[in-house]
Amino acid sequence: GAGVSQSPSNKVTEKGKDVELRCDPISGHTALYWYRQSLGQGLEFLIYFQGNSAPDKSGLPSDRFSAERTGGSVSTLTIQRTQQEDSAVYLCASSATAWFQETQYFGPGTRLLVL
Amino acid sequence: QQQVKQSPQSLIVQKGGISIINCAYENTAFDYFPWYQQFPGKGPALLIAIRPDVSEKKEGRFTISFNKSAKQFSLHIMDSQPGDSATYFCAASAPLTRGSTLGRLYFGRGTQLTVWP
């Protein structure tokens, strides 16, 4: 079946604007993760969903970041009042369950550039 | 702080050679160690993974070596090919315990591998 999809693939915005990033996980996957990839920084965990609930939001870097998941499927990551340091690739991953050995399948990412 | 430390940051290997990437961790709760491969413009994809109850796992040209006492693990790519040129990430995760996130992966910073033909 289809893999994880993300949209948009690229986003250029001006400092101070809000952006919404979308993730469509693999159908039937209950766990969904957001990561941020900055140059030379590896992958930084942002937030995790089990179904529609987010048991762990500890990775969100500031209160400008929020995320939701509806219907146990699509998730949206929202960044308000974007800053230049928010520029990065935002990756979404899903897995069939939240078991720690479950394979996480990543989408291609959204490349965000804040001018 | 980085819970999984990865080295080297970049690696250049001749075609047919062996590529070796090393990772180290401190958290003894980690119980699963996957390696992800990422090509430019793509998301990471699982390459191979190991649990600490074995010291080595091999899948084709890719081998993970694991040293539990040293809290280190490494990826060996035998007979490296130009098509292996990518960024490789080691990662670790732990079972649900107090304060942890189920399924969360802790990643190293990545190694950019270039295999010259």
Q: What is the pLDDT of residues B87-102, one digit of tens each?
A: 999 999 887 654 555 6
Q: How many CB pairs under 8 A join A and B?
A: 79
Cα–Cα distances in Å, from B59 out to A102, B78, B84, B108? Answer: 18, 11, 14, 21
Neighbours of A20 (CB within 10 A): 13
Average pLDDT on A88-109 reads 92
**Touching check for A14 and chain B: CB below 8 Å?**
no
- Using CB atoms, pick whichever of B51, B102, B107 lies closest to residue A98: B102
Cα–Cα distances in Å, from A7 out to A20, A22, A76, A85, A91? Answer: 9, 5, 10, 20, 10
> Which residues make beta-bridge pairs with A112?
A11, A88
Burial, A100: exposed, middle or buried (Cβ in 10 Å; 0-12, 13-18, 19+)?
buried
Give the pLDDT confidence of B25-36 residue by residue, as tens digits. 998 889 899 999
Q: Kindly write down the DSSP assignment for every residue of B17-42, as one continuous string.
A: S-EEEEEEE--TT--BEEEEEE-TTS
pLDDT at B91: 96
- 3-class DSSP state of B69: coil
C-beta atoms of B44 and A99 within 8 A = no
C-beta atoms of B43 and A109 within 8 A = yes
- Using CB atoms, pick whichever of B9, B45, B104 lies closest to residue A48: B104
